[in-house]
Amino acid sequence: METVAVLASTHQKSLPNLPAVADYTTPDTLKKLPQKGIGAAPALMAFQNDVMPYLSGSPGPRYFGYVTGGANPASILGDWLVSASDQDVGSAGDSLATQISLQTLAWLLDLFELNRDQFEGVFTTGATASNLLAVLAAREWAGDEFNVSVAEEGLSAAPNPLFFAGSPHVSLQKSMSIAGYGRNSFEPVELLPGRDVMEPDDLKEKLAAAGKQRKIVLTSAGTVNTGDFDDLNRVADICAEHNAWLHVDAAFGMFSRCLPGLKALSSGLEKADSITGDSHKWLNTPYECGFFFTKHMSMLERGCGTSAIYLESTSDEPEFLSRTIESSQRFRALPIWMTFKAYGREGIKSVIQSSCDHAKKLAGWIEKSINFELLAPVVLNIVVFRFKPHDYSDSASLDRLNEELLAALLQDGGIRITPGERNGKRGFRAAFCNWMTTDEDIEFAIQTLERTALAMRKCQ
């Protein structure tokens, strides 16, 4: 175990120098299952030699793809101890783990300035699972109107509710597919011009037109494309007027609430019926670590309820196995609890602040650059931009040029950005969430962009 500690700490220190995209060849997967074991220490050596060199530097400071957090040191320690202590927090009454989980959920509510008396939560494997829990809870609520528990009697026992969404994250669509409604079975609400979020007046009209049917509204606090926010205050009022369930996918955007200057972006979040959050992104805890909050825990417990004599507990603590997908479940709270203990609210705030500063710094350079242009205003930690040399104007060739530059950047491997798109213009997207990223990494990113673009033009 001591060897692992050294190995892990060396690996973490090397992250700034590891390529964001690993260079590997697919091993012979047909190799036979080992019959005789070699022992744990040689197995570790095998991992160190055969696997480790080919892992990605994605938890490192220059990985700006998707919305990818790293793993802060305290959370890694916590994560190891999750395995070493191997508690099952599905059932309560055996250990302090349930209480620590509840405490960590309460701390998260405090961090986001949400009311502990209104919301209850559960840990999940990530925002996708949290979004699924939202659909399952709202599904029970919708069935209630007809005195039906959909969880007990199935979808055909009650009329389907109507779902409304502007630009839902793909995981919400996946959740609707898993829950049996179909990933495209939502009413698309018009988007505000040039933005990623709903036109509230259109939502209002569509809810009014839906009459008495049960309605579920899926909104965003931090869209994955540009980090944009629905006007939650307005949307919540419209939902209240039409008796609709309001779900907010706030996977990473929720963390903007830590900063006084950005809290207004998600004002109204407190009016939601359910909220999705991720901690393996901006809180920089290892995968798989997400959370879900709702004001209607009894609905979720109907959707995820699990009872059997062998599972009965005499504890009056909540049974997490009846609040989420997994029955047996790891002590997911611990890496978050360790993060709170080690860095406190102040430490967490400073990571959020520096990510937003990094996004601003890159955007500031792009605005001044003669070769690059911003495709969307920077709301939070995401920059959407493209390469646009002055001698290019036709849009198809610009799109192609941007695809070529992205391929060249991947080849270079120094930084990782992913494709972006705005109003039909193709470009790049850089998202900042990693605790390790410094101003020098942004300088490095700028130089890499300039150098790679220049080299590409020279070859043309």
Interacting positions 149-168 with ligand PLP (CB under 6 A): none
Torsion angle of alpha carbons 143, 148, 153, 159, nearest 10°? Answer: -50
- Identify whether the C-beta of residue 90 lies closer than 8 Å to the C-beta of residue 327: yes
Kindly write down the DSSP assignment for every residue of 206-231, as one continuous string.
HHHHTTTS-EEEEEEBS-TTT--B--
Say whether residue 227 binds ligand PLP (CB under 6 A).
Answer: no
Distance of closest approach, residue 184 Cβ to ligand PLP, in angstroms? 18
Q: Which is nearer to ligand PLP, 130 or 149 (CB)?
A: 130
Bridge partners (DSSP) listed for residue 244? 215
CB of 57 to ligand PLP, least distance (A): 19
Strands across the sheet with 274-278, in order?
120-124, 290-294, 274-278, 244-249, 215-220, 162-165, 186-188
Look at residues 105, 70, 135 and name the one whose alpha carbon lies nearest to residue 287: 70
Cα–Cα distance for residue pair 278/301, rounded to 1 Å: 21
- DSSP line for 330-349: --THHHHHHHHHHHHHHHHH
Interface residue with ligand PLP among 15, 148, 197, 224 (CB under 6 A) is 224
Per-residue binder mask for ligand PLP (CB under 6 A), 252-291, x = binder: x-------------------------x-----------x-
Residue range at the interface with ligand PLP (CB under 6 A); choices 37-45, 46-54, 108-116, 247-255:
247-255
Q: Between 255 and 435, whose beta carbon lies closer to ligand PLP?
A: 255
The verdict on 200 binding ligand PLP (CB under 6 A) reads no
- Is 171 near ligand PLP (CB under 6 A)? yes
Q: 400: left (phi > 0), else alpha (psi -120 to 50), else beta?
A: alpha
Q: Does residue 335 belong to the site contacting ligand PLP (CB under 6 A)?
A: no
Residue nearer to ligand PLP on the CB measure, 64 or 365: 64
Q: Does position 128 bind ligand PLP by CB under 6 A?
A: yes
Contact with ligand PLP (CB under 6 A) among 65, 78, 126, 227: 126
Three-state DSSP state, 174: helix
Does 251 interact with ligand PLP (rule: CB under 6 A)? yes
CB of 82 to ligand PLP, least distance (A): 17
Is position 67 an interface residue for ligand PLP (rule: CB under 6 A)? yes
Question: How far is the CA of 226 from the CAs of 208, 297, 298, 374, 375, in angstroms?
Answer: 29, 31, 34, 11, 10
Q: Tell me which residues touch ligand PLP (CB under 6 A).
A: 67, 126-128, 169, 171, 222, 224, 249, 251-252, 278, 290
